[in-house]
Amino acid sequence: MELPVFFAGDMVTGTTAYTMDEPTSKYCVTVLRKTKGDKILLADGRGGKYTAEITDDHRKKCVSAILETEQIPAPVPRLKIGIAFTKNASRMEWFLEKATEIGMAEIIPLITKRTEKENLKMERLESILVSAMLQSRQWHLPKLPVPQPFESLMAAEGQRFIAHCLPGEKQSVLKAVRPGENALLLIGPEGDFTAEEVELALQYGYHPVTLGSTRLRTETAGLVGCTLMAAVNNG
């Protein structure tokens, strides 16, 4: 039986014991009914995987002794997506969960000409990423920077792609992405990128790509883009 995994984002390297915060302790002890002597796994979100044994099953400050430490390498290549958030918070939260499960290394909220929501509840969004990381049993938490202006990503490193609905020649993501190389895909807001934004991206070496023959909602386009990039690298 697999050991349950709990988030330990404040884990200090070299520590011999770890005390969970109150919500995590309550979930561990009250919900999962873990008691003294039970073994668990802790993840710091930076590749640290800790095998531990509960020494104090207090439901507000559960303590465990670190038995074994392993550093899990970050997945390569690093796949990133920049996406303009919509006003519908639940749809974008759903996207964040799925993008994390798929294995995105970074999810960048984009500020474009038509972005509908720029002020995000970052603490809540981070908690969604943590839950998705633990559920999918990964050891690296995706980066989630504060919303970034579209122009600030023009000189991004690695392969660069922009998905848009404007006329012009485009390649399928499956054919455009080169496996084994870092990649960034930009997804626009409801209403798409402006012609000026697309032109600017092309000037900076972004490759225009298509996600299929139908017009997709922002969060659906993001999910398809993440899936296709991952498929190229996992096939």
pLDDT tens column, 115-157: 988 789 999 999 999 999 999 999 999 999 999 999 999 999 9
Instruction: Please list, in sequence order, all residues whose beta carbon lies within 8 angstroms of the beta carbon of residue 126, skipping any fewer than 6 positions away.
Output: 144
* Predicted pLDDT of residue 1: 76
CA distance 189 to 217: 9
| 202, containing H or E segment | helix 195-203
* CA 173 to chain centroid: 19
> Looking at the chain, how many residues does it have?
235
* Predicted pLDDT of residue 193: 97
* Predicted pLDDT of residue 184: 98
* Predicted pLDDT of residue 137: 96
Mean pLDDT computed over 215-225:
95
Q: Is residue 70 scored above 80 in pLDDT?
A: yes
Tokens representing residue 98 in the block: 């799925």
pTM of the entire structure?
Answer: 0.94
Domain layout of the chain by residue ranges? 5-71, 79-234
What value does the mean pLDDT of the chain take? 96
81-117 pLDDT, tens digit per residue, is 999 999 999 999 999 999 999 999 999 999 999 998 8
Which comes out higher in pLDDT, residue 118 or 172? Answer: 172
* CA 28 to chain centroid: 24
Which comes out higher in pLDDT, residue 215 or 153? Answer: 153
Q: Is residue 235 scored above 70 in pLDDT?
A: no
- Name the band, by pLDDT with cuts 50, 70 and 90, for residue 46: very high
Q: How far is CA 161 from CA 58, 78, 187, 206, in A?
A: 50, 14, 9, 5
Report the CATH number of the 5-71 domain.
2.40.240.20
Q: How many helices (H) and strands (E) does the chain have?
A: 6, 12
Report the CATH number of the 79-234 domain.
3.40.1280.10
